[in-house]
Amino acid sequence: MKKTLLAFLIAGAAGLGLSLSAVSCNNSSECIEVVIPRPAAIEKCAGTFQIPTPLAVSFDTPQEVAASLEAYLKTTSLPATETAPDAALRFVIASEEGLPASEEGYELSVLPEGAVIKARGEAGLFYGLQTLLQLRSRFGDRIPAQRIVDAPRFEYRGMHLDESRHFFGKEFVKKQLRMMASLKLNRLHWHLTDGAGWRIQIDRYPELTEIAAWRPVEPWLEWLDAGRPYCRREDPNAYGGFYTKEEIREVVAYADSLHITVIPEIEMPGHSEEVLAVYPELSCAGKPHVYDDLCIGNDKTFEFLENVLTEVMELFPSEYIHIGGDEATKKGWATCAKCHARMQREGLKDLDELQSYAVHRVEEFLNAHGRKLLGWDEILQGGLAPNAAVMSWHGMSGGREAAASGHPVVMTPGSYCYLDKYQGNPSTEPKALEGSLPLPKVYMCEPAPEDMTGRENVLGVQANLWTEYVPTAEHAEYMLYPRMFALAEVAWTAPERKDYDDFHRRALLRIETARAEGYNTFDQAASERAERPEALKQVKHLALGCPVSCGAEWYESYAADGAGSLTDGWFGPWNYGYRWLGFLNKDFEATIDLGAVKAIREVKADFLQWHSALIGLPKSVEIAVSEDGEHFTVLGEEQNDLPFDDPKLQCRAFGWEGSAQARYVRCRAAFHGNAGGWIFIDEIVVN
Ligand code: ACM
């Protein structure tokens, strides 16, 4: 067995003022790297640390830090007992040079003589302990000796949970908080209100939890189709639920003990059908659901919001309060006398400015109470409130705009961070949001690209679980894991330490332990075993690695690795979320430069059909060649005979076979003509 030690200096470690070596893991049985998110620096040392039973612990920390760590240790599987000066596990608060500057950073030494966790602050000690716990869950009581120095990339490392569309309850939330802590995630964005149900007790407005929290039809889509009915809590068919104040306090305190801040989201002014169902006077029409939005012309709306937020702030100590702000239809406002009067009085020129007025007004209220406003990127419309932070979900553009103007930003772009999309083969996975987000794609997320103006304003990154198609707690875990593992590494680990293959190896191990801990994870390995066979191995062909120019713009969310993905030798998987280039409503054209005139006998371009995502095979594919790149000869054109509405997920190659001489190979694919539809292509094979 060969042990490979790569002694290279890690940039992340250099940033911590350290130079440790990294350990490569060619042989998983000898590999000591198992932790997710991947630490900044790991040094393998000689021997093993045998965890004794009982395990004595010592604290060279302030008393309250020792008390909270001691309490936490009792909840873990470590056989920790009372403190002793010569303890095998020592916690030390220190400020020596060489320790990461971040309060969340730590140094963990696991040596034959004992384990020591050192940090500048309690959070660092807690995260060092998380690392130790992950090592133990992999190696048992004999942990290979090593020294880890680690600190997070981002201060905001978030997970969002929608409990309006489906309600899971506090034990579920606490279980996910435990997993979050293990992954060193530190913000739970709790989506507590939305059209499908209000989920938080507000004393002043009891109807919110007597009626707006309950619906007579459980499946979300059926409820929507039934005209969004609500019912009383006592109704025998009532589906829903809510958190009492006592339960919220319990969850918030529990999260706090795990170094997680809970950020509540109270949706406004859109996504408010459930509020309008019980307080119709807050709508423009003065009656329950016509549109989703609260009336902004009505002062009673602000009275309601301020009263609700006052009770919310009593429950949640979070600096940020999320006010939603997304997807207001604005339709009722357009014809509402009160909204028009407000616009006139305030000199607002359009409905975007009216929305912005509402956000500004709520921000002033929150600021006056010592809190800050966080909202989805629509709060940029009509002018951003002065102190607001933006959560960017329409791609990164809203985040870029806000960061460039100095506002704090949390990145959660839909194409990388929406865990309600398909993670495996869409034709065999349970119904999900149309769209595709396999594990590697989450891992590819880069929340603060180097070319971004104001990238220092990116607080961090978050993945979101919307639950329209997630009816049960088990299914929620299935959608969360292992993709949250990838998000955690995006949030914590410096880009130069990220490596998908290595992450993938650790993720499969972590899935095993998560399952043993009772989490219902997606079966990543089984999904990969059932993968499209062509996608498993790189194919060698004449155009491999050759430059390609694309004559059409691909869609931002389906960009693969750009035009180069057409000649990288990799076919796409069943899941079109990566390796596939997607083109919306247009023809496709690409020209490959083989570098010199060569004899060719085959050109095959591979396309995807998946009807429910409106991805169709092209109408026809034309192959042409040229020796000079200017004058092309058409070699052939192949017509598609598969109907656009054929529901079977499949891939098909179109092209030409024969004999020709060419330096340039051009492939044109005609759009199938179904408006709103797509063409997806992964590879053009030339032989
Ligand atoms: C959102 O996904 N509507 C924020």
| Cβ contact 670:562 at 8 Å | no
User: Which tokens sit at 288?
Assistant: 């329950």
Amino acid at 81: T
Share of the chain above pLDDT 90, in %: 92
Active-site entry in 259, 271, 360, 407: 271
Instruction: Residue 512: count other Cβ atoms within 10 Å of its Cβ.
Output: 14
Cα–Cα distance for residue pair 524/527, rounded to 1 Å: 5
| Beta-ladder partners of 391 | 376, 410
Q: What is the DSSP letter of 524?
A: H
What amino acid is encoded at 190 in this protein? W
Strands (E), 402-502: 409-411, 421-422, 433-436, 458-465
Per-residue pLDDT, averaged over 602-629, amounts to 97
Rounded CA gap, 404 and 395, in Å?
15
Q: How is residue 669 written in tokens?
A: 């694919």
Distance 326 CA to ligand 1 centre (A): 6
Q: For residue 80, what pLDDT is reported?
A: 87
Q: How far is 670 from 522, CA to CA, in rounded Å?
A: 37
Residue 162 phi/psi, 5° resolution?
A: -90, 110
435 CA to middle of ligand 1, Å?
14
How many angstroms separate the CA atoms of 634 and 636, rounded? 6
pLDDT of 36 above 50 = yes
Mean pLDDT over all residues of the chain? 94
In the numeric block, the tokens 């995807």 are attached to 608
Report CA torsion sign: 503, 504, 505, 507: positive
Q: Is 376 in the pocket of ligand 1 (CB under 6 A)?
A: yes
Nearest CA to ligand 1 atom 3: 326
DSSP tag of 475: H
Q: Which conformational region is residue 253 in: left (phi greater than 0), alpha (psi within -120 to 50 degrees), or beta?
A: alpha
Higher-confidence position of 388 and 84 = 388
Pocket test for ligand 1, best of 293, 327, 465 (most atoms within 8 A of CB): 327
Across residues 595-608, what is the average pLDDT?
Answer: 98
In angstroms, the Cα distances linking 283 to 47, 276, 304, 325 are 69, 6, 12, 16
pLDDT in tens, 256-312: 999 999 999 999 999 999 999 999 999 999 999 899 999 999 999 999 999 999 999
As a whole number of angstroms, the distance between CA 535 and CA 523 comes to 18
* Ligand 1 atom at shortest distance from the alpha carbon of 466: 2
Distance (Å) of CA 564 to CA 109, 617, 618, 623, 654: 44, 21, 20, 18, 19
CB 590 within 8 A of CB 549: yes
pLDDT tens track for 367-406: 999 999 999 999 999 999 999 999 999 999 999 999 999 9
What distance in Å separates the CA atoms of residue 673 and residue 679, rounded to the nearest whole number? 10
Task: For the chain, report the end-to-end CA distance as a whole number of angstroms.
Answer: 40
C-alpha–C-alpha distance, residues 376 and 326, integer Å: 6
Ligand 1 atom with minimal separation from the 327 CA: 3
Any bridge partners for residue 161, and if so which? 190, 465
Distance 377 CA to ligand 1 centre (A): 9
631 noted as active-site residue: no
**Higher pLDDT among residues 41 and 19, named by residue:** 41
Provide the token pair at 659.
Answer: 């004999």
Higher-scoring residue by pLDDT: 2, 272? 272
pLDDT on residue 6: 27
Annotate 320-381 with three-state secondary structure: EEEEECCCCCCHHHHCCHHHHHHHHHHCCCCHHHHHHHHHHHHHHHHHHCCCEEEEEHHHHC
Determine whether 327 is an active site residue. Answer: yes
Q: Is 189 annotated in the active site?
A: no
Q: Within a 10 A sphere around the Cβ of 346, how many other Cβ atoms? A: 13
pLDDT score of 557: 87
Q: What span, in angstroms and rounded, lies between the C-alpha atoms of 13 and 494? A: 10
Each residue's pLDDT tens digit, 91-134: 999 999 989 999 999 999 999 999 999 999 999 999 999 999 99
